[in-house]
Amino acid sequence: MDKGISKKAKETKGFSRKTGMGLAIGAGALIAGGQFLGPLMIPVFAGPLNSDNLVDPEWESAVRKHFEKRFFNLIDATDSQKTQLDDLFRKRCEANRATREEVKEAAVQVSKMLADDAVSDEQIRAKVHEIRKIRQQLQDDRLETALKVRAILTKDQRQIVSDRVVGFITGNQKRFLYRSMM
Protein backbone atom coordinates (compact mmCIF):
# COMPACT_ATOMS: atom_id res chain seq x y z
CA MET A 1 0.00 0.00 0.00
CA ASP A 2 1.26 3.52 -0.87
CA LYS A 3 2.17 5.74 2.03
CA GLY A 4 -0.52 8.22 2.97
CA ILE A 5 -3.22 6.82 0.66
CA SER A 6 -5.88 4.64 2.21
CA LYS A 7 -7.47 1.69 0.44
CA LYS A 8 -10.79 3.55 0.22
CA ALA A 9 -9.08 6.56 -1.39
CA LYS A 10 -7.47 4.28 -3.98
CA GLU A 11 -10.82 2.68 -4.78
CA THR A 12 -12.46 6.08 -5.13
CA LYS A 13 -9.62 7.28 -7.32
CA GLY A 14 -9.98 4.23 -9.57
CA PHE A 15 -13.72 4.70 -9.81
CA SER A 16 -13.38 8.34 -10.78
CA ARG A 17 -10.88 7.41 -13.49
CA LYS A 18 -13.31 4.89 -14.94
CA THR A 19 -16.13 7.37 -14.72
CA GLY A 20 -13.96 10.06 -16.26
CA MET A 21 -12.92 7.73 -19.05
CA GLY A 22 -16.54 6.83 -19.71
CA LEU A 23 -17.52 10.48 -19.80
CA ALA A 24 -14.62 11.31 -22.11
CA ILE A 25 -15.53 8.50 -24.49
CA GLY A 26 -19.19 9.52 -24.38
CA ALA A 27 -18.34 13.17 -25.03
CA GLY A 28 -16.03 12.17 -27.88
CA ALA A 29 -18.76 10.05 -29.43
CA LEU A 30 -21.23 12.89 -29.04
CA ILE A 31 -18.86 15.38 -30.65
CA ALA A 32 -17.86 13.00 -33.44
CA GLY A 33 -21.44 11.99 -34.10
CA GLY A 34 -22.79 15.48 -33.55
CA GLN A 35 -22.55 16.38 -37.21
CA PHE A 36 -24.60 13.33 -38.09
CA LEU A 37 -26.94 13.15 -35.12
CA GLY A 38 -27.55 16.88 -34.74
CA PRO A 39 -30.22 17.10 -37.44
CA LEU A 40 -31.77 13.84 -36.31
CA MET A 41 -32.13 14.99 -32.70
CA ILE A 42 -33.76 18.34 -33.49
CA PRO A 43 -37.28 16.90 -33.72
CA VAL A 44 -36.79 14.94 -30.52
CA PHE A 45 -35.92 17.95 -28.36
CA ALA A 46 -37.70 20.73 -30.24
CA GLY A 47 -41.19 20.02 -28.94
CA PRO A 48 -44.23 21.35 -30.72
CA LEU A 49 -43.60 24.08 -33.26
CA ASN A 50 -45.04 27.51 -32.60
CA SER A 51 -45.20 28.39 -36.27
CA ASP A 52 -44.89 26.93 -39.72
CA ASN A 53 -41.27 28.14 -39.92
CA LEU A 54 -38.59 25.95 -38.41
CA VAL A 55 -36.22 28.93 -38.27
CA ASP A 56 -37.54 31.88 -36.28
CA PRO A 57 -36.06 35.13 -37.68
CA GLU A 58 -36.72 37.05 -34.44
CA TRP A 59 -34.94 34.43 -32.33
CA GLU A 60 -32.13 34.28 -34.88
CA SER A 61 -31.71 38.06 -34.67
CA ALA A 62 -31.66 38.02 -30.86
CA VAL A 63 -29.03 35.26 -30.81
CA ARG A 64 -26.93 37.07 -33.43
CA LYS A 65 -27.03 40.34 -31.44
CA HIS A 66 -26.12 38.52 -28.22
CA PHE A 67 -23.18 36.84 -29.95
CA GLU A 68 -22.07 40.11 -31.51
CA LYS A 69 -22.14 41.94 -28.18
CA ARG A 70 -19.96 39.30 -26.53
CA PHE A 71 -17.68 39.05 -29.56
CA PHE A 72 -17.25 42.81 -29.84
CA ASN A 73 -16.45 43.06 -26.14
CA LEU A 74 -13.96 40.19 -26.37
CA ILE A 75 -11.98 41.75 -29.22
CA ASP A 76 -12.58 45.38 -28.16
CA ALA A 77 -13.96 46.15 -31.61
CA THR A 78 -13.88 49.64 -33.07
CA ASP A 79 -17.10 51.28 -34.25
CA SER A 80 -16.06 50.68 -37.85
CA GLN A 81 -15.44 46.99 -37.17
CA LYS A 82 -18.77 46.67 -35.35
CA THR A 83 -20.58 48.12 -38.35
CA GLN A 84 -18.72 45.94 -40.86
CA LEU A 85 -19.11 42.75 -38.84
CA ASP A 86 -22.77 43.36 -38.00
CA ASP A 87 -23.53 43.89 -41.68
CA LEU A 88 -21.62 40.73 -42.63
CA PHE A 89 -23.28 38.57 -39.96
CA ARG A 90 -26.76 39.90 -40.73
CA LYS A 91 -26.37 39.25 -44.47
CA ARG A 92 -25.04 35.72 -43.88
CA CYS A 93 -27.90 34.89 -41.49
CA GLU A 94 -30.46 36.08 -43.99
CA ALA A 95 -28.78 34.33 -46.92
CA ASN A 96 -28.52 31.01 -45.07
CA ARG A 97 -31.95 31.03 -43.43
CA ALA A 98 -33.59 29.02 -46.23
CA THR A 99 -30.75 26.48 -46.21
CA ARG A 100 -30.97 26.03 -42.43
CA GLU A 101 -34.72 25.60 -42.73
CA GLU A 102 -34.14 22.98 -45.43
CA VAL A 103 -31.81 21.04 -43.08
CA LYS A 104 -34.39 21.13 -40.30
CA GLU A 105 -37.22 20.04 -42.60
CA ALA A 106 -35.10 17.15 -43.85
CA ALA A 107 -34.29 16.19 -40.25
CA VAL A 108 -38.00 16.12 -39.44
CA GLN A 109 -38.53 13.90 -42.49
CA VAL A 110 -35.79 11.53 -41.33
CA SER A 111 -37.37 11.33 -37.91
CA LYS A 112 -40.71 10.42 -39.48
CA MET A 113 -39.00 7.95 -41.81
CA LEU A 114 -37.41 6.18 -38.85
CA ALA A 115 -40.89 5.57 -37.40
CA ASP A 116 -42.38 4.36 -40.71
CA ASP A 117 -42.09 0.60 -41.37
CA ALA A 118 -42.67 1.18 -45.10
CA VAL A 119 -39.42 3.16 -45.43
CA SER A 120 -36.26 1.16 -46.17
CA ASP A 121 -32.91 1.65 -44.50
CA GLU A 122 -31.49 2.76 -47.86
CA GLN A 123 -34.09 5.51 -48.16
CA ILE A 124 -33.15 6.76 -44.70
CA ARG A 125 -29.45 6.64 -45.56
CA ALA A 126 -30.10 8.57 -48.76
CA LYS A 127 -32.00 11.27 -46.87
CA VAL A 128 -29.24 11.57 -44.25
CA HIS A 129 -26.68 11.82 -47.07
CA GLU A 130 -28.77 14.63 -48.53
CA ILE A 131 -28.69 16.42 -45.17
CA ARG A 132 -24.91 16.02 -44.99
CA LYS A 133 -24.52 17.67 -48.39
CA ILE A 134 -26.65 20.63 -47.33
CA ARG A 135 -24.74 20.95 -44.05
CA GLN A 136 -21.47 20.88 -46.01
CA GLN A 137 -22.73 23.87 -48.01
CA LEU A 138 -23.41 25.69 -44.75
CA GLN A 139 -19.92 24.80 -43.46
CA ASP A 140 -18.33 26.12 -46.66
CA ASP A 141 -20.25 29.37 -46.28
CA ARG A 142 -19.17 29.65 -42.63
CA LEU A 143 -15.56 29.30 -43.73
CA GLU A 144 -15.99 32.12 -46.24
CA THR A 145 -17.55 34.27 -43.53
CA ALA A 146 -14.71 33.46 -41.12
CA LEU A 147 -12.17 34.49 -43.76
CA LYS A 148 -14.00 37.79 -44.28
CA VAL A 149 -14.05 38.37 -40.51
CA ARG A 150 -10.33 37.57 -40.40
CA ALA A 151 -9.68 40.30 -42.97
CA ILE A 152 -11.52 42.86 -40.81
CA LEU A 153 -9.74 42.03 -37.51
CA THR A 154 -6.29 43.17 -36.45
CA LYS A 155 -3.52 40.66 -35.73
CA ASP A 156 -4.05 41.02 -31.96
CA GLN A 157 -7.81 40.54 -32.31
CA ARG A 158 -7.28 37.42 -34.42
CA GLN A 159 -4.97 36.04 -31.70
CA ILE A 160 -7.63 36.69 -29.03
CA VAL A 161 -10.22 34.83 -31.11
CA SER A 162 -7.77 32.02 -31.81
CA ASP A 163 -6.94 31.66 -28.11
CA ARG A 164 -10.64 31.54 -27.22
CA VAL A 165 -11.39 28.89 -29.85
CA VAL A 166 -8.40 26.76 -28.85
CA GLY A 167 -9.44 27.09 -25.21
CA PHE A 168 -12.95 25.98 -26.08
CA ILE A 169 -11.72 22.99 -28.08
CA THR A 170 -9.24 21.89 -25.42
CA GLY A 171 -11.49 22.68 -22.47
CA ASN A 172 -8.90 25.05 -21.05
CA GLN A 173 -10.61 28.38 -21.70
CA LYS A 174 -9.35 30.24 -18.66
CA ARG A 175 -5.67 29.84 -19.48
CA PHE A 176 -6.10 31.34 -22.94
CA LEU A 177 -8.47 34.02 -21.69
CA TYR A 178 -5.93 35.23 -19.14
CA ARG A 179 -3.18 35.25 -21.74
CA SER A 180 -5.28 37.27 -24.18
CA MET A 181 -6.03 39.87 -21.49
CA MET A 182 -2.33 40.63 -20.87
Closest among 132, 159, 124, 126 to 33, alpha carbons compared: 132
Structural domain contains residue 70 = yes
* Domains identified in the chain, total number: 1
Q: Which domain holds residue 170?
A: 49-181
pLDDT in tens, 82-132: 999 999 999 998 999 899 999 999 999 999 999 999 999 999 999 999 999
In a domain, 127, yes or no: yes
The answer to the question of residue 7 being in a domain is no
Give the other-Cβ count within 10 Å of 86's Cβ. 15
Closest CA to 36 of 103, 97, 99, 93: 103
Task: Give a yes or no: residue 99 inside a domain.
Answer: yes
Is there a domain that residue 173 lies in? Answer: yes
Q: Is residue 18 part of a domain?
A: no
- DSSP code of residue 119: S
Q: What is the spatial distance between Cα 72 and Cα 108, in angstroms, rounded to a whole number?
A: 35
Report how far residue 118's alpha carbon sits from residue 35's, in angstroms, rounded to the nearest whole number.
Answer: 26
Q: What is the pLDDT of residue 55?
A: 72
Query: In this structure, is residue 20 part of a structural domain?
Result: no
Q: Given this model, what pLDDT does residue 27 score? A: 45
Residue-level pLDDT at 31: 45
Taking residue 131's Cβ as centre, other Cβ atoms within 10 Å add up to: 22
pLDDT number for residue 36: 43
Residue 9 lies in a domain: no
- Ordered DSSP codes for 124-175: HHHHHHHHHHHHHHHHHHHHHHHHHHHHHS-HHHHHHHHHHHHHHHHT-HHH
pTM over the 0.75 mark: no
The single-letter DSSP state of residue 3 is T
10-residue mean pLDDT series, the chain (182 residues): 52 48 48 45 46 72 89 92 93 91 94 96 96 95 95 95 89 64 52
